[in-house]
Amino acid sequence: MIGPEDIRTLLTSALEPQMMSDLLNTICHSNDSQLIYAVLSQMSKTPRFDTIVLFLSQSDQKVLETIIDKLKRNNFDEKLISEIKISFL
């Protein structure tokens, strides 16, 4: 099984916009806050991440907001949520 720590290795050439969208939509359905954080954290360390985030579609931004809201509802660490917001929003 591929874990969150493998994301950077798998995407060494670059994270593509569609791949980011697919990952966001997939983790949006998870209830595992640690997994969600780990995936988002690893995605933020991939090549071209900063550029792709600038051009997130409105629907991807809404999915990301839903993910962040879910982390808050699950009482996930506020500091880590802030890190995600800084990276993605």
Contact, 27 vs 67, CB < 8 A? yes
What confidence score (pLDDT) does residue 12 get?
66
What is the model's pLDDT at position 34?
A: 95
| pLDDT value at residue 89 | 84
Q: What is the pLDDT of residues 31-70, one digit of tens each?
A: 999 999 999 998 998 888 999 999 999 999 999 999 999 9
Q: What is the mean pLDDT of residues 13-34?
A: 90
pTM attached to this predicted model:
0.86
The share of the chain scoring above pLDDT 70, in percent, equals 89
Q: What is the 3-state secondary structure (H, E, C) of 31-59?
A: CCHHHHHHHHHHHCCCCCHHHHHHCCCHH
